[in-house]
Structure 1
């Protein structure tokens, strides 16, 4: 029992330090690693070595994937590719189902672009569509936000799911994580859209009629990017790597669909996440617009590195925390306890939801929870590849439950949609609760079928 109390105390420290005292998650997780090491009585000579090896081990492979994915997302964001993606979806779906269209736009754009940035970029498009289709902008805002949120928490190469997959030893199984993540994220996005439809006749608190101005704002936004990239150029840098990663996973199926010769070798090489994202990075060069493309490319890389740096540090710190827990007997102890309770796949969901609700960051919830549960997987029957993949999904479902006042994304949605806080709690926060519970229900059903 003392082992469990120590773990609860360490988790409470992480929550209080990040939520109440606003201590950076990187430092919080490193301090939690030291606290857990001393509390569990690890040999003092081994503590620093275990922390540094855990920090470096997770970043040795996943670090490059996070950096490359973030740089590609930065180039797509700055080039206007996100606008092109949105326009393509509107042309394909038309205007018959406005909230569905908005949800799908968010779902696609948030794979390469962070959900906060995606909402800012697409806000004027959302408002323009709401005015033209005579649909409440509250409904359209929630549909866009929940679409963005779904892929943000489930689908690599978004950093949170990648880091969670790395912590759970799925570096070579990212194709499977993507395939399952796309399916689970679609369910979460659909649930969010259904909740958004409840607000079709409800206008933002205190918003006046700005229809003409908003349409002009959207046109100004498009014009500010100059000539927008073609659909092929916009989609290629992110969907080609995803396709290659998935093909590599298919190539490794026991049935050997590509044989074991040169074709297998080619797909295996190109589908390694670092190699696939390098190809995506080179494809993104076609989106650069200035006359001095080398200089612009360097600027985009620098901007991407600035965004990636805190994510890398948090991911590494989560790896350090996980390494300390693996060096103790807590995994075996908790595994036996949880097996007796029979909550299995729900445990990572509950922990992630608690961390997300307490400190606000989905990425921190994904990283910390995956580091925490990694030592437990064998004892709760989730040590297989598919068990680990579904654990990532369960953590992702928890990491979106719920977005409220301590989450920066909540404030982006609230402020840009002109909703009051009370209205945002009813519309956006409740939507993320519905998303998380719907996604977790699907993950549980998948666990019954696949495990």
Structure 2
């Protein structure tokens, strides 16, 4: 029992450090790793070794992937490709189902672009469609926000799911994570859409129009400021090319060896490795650059991507260090045996991730911390198979979206740019994320009955 008590103390310390003390999650996780080593009585000379090995191991398996995915997202954001993707979806779906259109736009755009940035980029488009079709701005805002949130939480190359997959030993098999993530994300997006449609006919008073200031002002570009927008093919290629290559690589790696074991299969495996696939996606994104000074543009976007990726890399590495300490303790055996007897299986990572998300606000921190914590227990929980690990990533993701409220930056982005009152946002946006998380977890549990 004392093993669980120590774990509870460590989780409480992480939450307290990141919320009340405003300590960066990197330092909070690193401190938890050291404190955990002392409390679990890991030999003193081994504590630093396990921490550095855990940090380096996760960086080696997933660090470059996070950086490349972030750079692709920055290029798509800055070149107007996200606007082109939105326009293409509107042309495809037409004007009959405005909230569905916004949900699908969010679902696709947030695969490479952070949901916060995606919402800001698409805000003016959402407002224009709502006005043109005379539908509730609240409904359109929730539909867009929940569509963005779905793939942001479940589908690589978004950093959170990538980091969780890396912690759980799936760094070289992201294809399966992507395929399952797309399905689970679609169900949660539909759940968010259902909640958004409740507000279609409601007349809810809004705040005064928001004035963009500070770092968000640059993101509030009009179509004219983007100049000539890229074509649909150019805009979608940096997203779908790496996903297709990764999925092909996963198929080639199936135990049945559908492509054999010759040179052709090896080439496909090489191209399907997440690092190579995302490098191909980044190269295709370079064709989105326009005008003079393309080299400088590319340099600036890469620099911005590196700046955005750095905190995620540090948090992910610290999560790996924390997980490495937990792996060398008897905690995994004890909790695994106890939870197996209770029969809660996949619900354990969901509950821990949801508790962390609700307490400290960051989905990425919840995914990284929970995946590091759960990794040593997979065998005892009966989740040590390839599909078991994938579904564990999904369960952690479902918890990581439950719930978005005042300590989450995305909550404030949605609230301010949608001109919602805070009380309205709690009812519309926070409840929507609660529904998404619960529906997502039920979907994952149903999948586990079939796939495990």
| Correspondence for 2:4 | 4
The yes-or-no answer on 1:187 pairing with 2:183 is no
**Distance of 1:96 and 1:199 partners within structure 2:** 17
The yes-or-no answer on 1:230 pairing with 2:231 is yes
Residue 203 of structure 1: how far off its partner (Å): 4.2
TM-superposition CA deviations, 1:129-165 (whole Å, max 9, x none): 0111111000000000000000000000000000000
Determine helix, strand or coil for the equivalent of 2:157: coil
| Correspondence for 1:297 | 298
**Distance of 1:209 and 1:7 partners within structure 2:** 46
With over 3 angstroms needed to count, the CA separation of the structure-2 counterparts of 1:298 and 1:204, relative to structure 1, is: farther
**Distance of 2:403 and 2:126 partners within structure 1:** 23
Residue 260 of structure 1: how far off its partner (Å): 2.3
> Is the CA contact 1:348–1:391 (under 8 Å) kept in the aligned structure 2?
yes
User: How many positions carry a matched residue from both structures?
Assistant: 444
Question: TM-score w.r.t. structure 2 length?
Answer: 0.96
| Correspondence for 2:14 | 14
**Distance of 2:328 and 2:61 partners within structure 1:** 21
- 5+ residue gaps in structure 2? 211-218
TM-superposition CA deviations, 1:5-59 (whole Å, max 9, x none): 0011111111111122221100000000011000000011111111111111100
Question: TM-score w.r.t. structure 1 length?
Answer: 0.97
Q: Which runs of 4+ in 1 moved over 6 A?
A: none
RMSD between aligned residues: 1.4
| Correspondence for 1:242 | 243
Residue 252 of structure 1: how far off its partner (Å): 1.5
| Correspondence for 2:388 | 387
**Distance of 2:407 and 2:207 partners within structure 1:** 24
> Is the CA contact 2:191–2:435 (under 8 Å) kept in the aligned structure 1?
yes
**Distance of 2:276 and 2:383 partners within structure 1:** 29
Determine helix, strand or coil for the equivalent of 1:378: helix
**Distance of 2:64 and 2:244 partners within structure 1:** 19
| Correspondence for 2:51 | 51
| Correspondence for 2:174 | 174
Residue 62 of structure 1: how far off its partner (Å): 0.3
**Distance of 1:426 and 1:206 partners within structure 2:** 14
Residue 204 of structure 1: how far off its partner (Å): 4.7
| Correspondence for 2:403 | 402
**Distance of 2:57 and 2:292 partners within structure 1:** 40
| Correspondence for 1:276 | 277
With over 3 angstroms needed to count, the CA separation of the structure-2 counterparts of 1:259 and 1:365, relative to structure 1, is: same
> Is the CA contact 1:204–1:417 (under 8 Å) kept in the aligned structure 2?
no
| Correspondence for 2:95 | 95
> Is the CA contact 1:70–1:112 (under 8 Å) kept in the aligned structure 2?
yes
| Correspondence for 2:147 | 147
Determine helix, strand or coil for the equivalent of 2:202: coil
**Distance of 2:164 and 2:316 partners within structure 1:** 9
TM-superposition CA deviations, 1:388-442 (whole Å, max 9, x none): 0000000000000000000000000000001011000000000000000001000
> Is the CA contact 2:371–2:396 (under 8 Å) kept in the aligned structure 1?
yes
With over 3 angstroms needed to count, the CA separation of the structure-2 counterparts of 1:270 and 1:294, relative to structure 1, is: same
TM-superposition CA deviations, 1:194-220 (whole Å, max 9, x none): 00001112345345799xxxxxxx997
With over 3 angstroms needed to count, the CA separation of the structure-2 counterparts of 1:263 and 1:10, relative to structure 1, is: same
**Distance of 1:147 and 1:405 partners within structure 2:** 20
**Distance of 1:61 and 1:374 partners within structure 2:** 15
Q: How does 1:213-224 map to 2 (within 5 A)?
A: 221-224=222-225
**Distance of 2:190 and 2:156 partners within structure 1:** 19
Q: How does 1:13-52 map to 2 (within 5 A)?
A: 13-52=13-52
> Is the CA contact 2:142–2:429 (under 8 Å) kept in the aligned structure 1?
yes
> Is the CA contact 1:386–1:450 (under 8 Å) kept in the aligned structure 2?
yes
| Correspondence for 2:81 | 81
| Correspondence for 1:104 | 104
TM-superposition CA deviations, 1:90-136 (whole Å, max 9, x none): 00000100000000000000001000000000001001101111110
Residue 341 of structure 1: how far off its partner (Å): 1.0
Determine helix, strand or coil for the equivalent of 1:96: coil
| Correspondence for 1:266 | 267
Determine helix, strand or coil for the equivalent of 2:376: helix
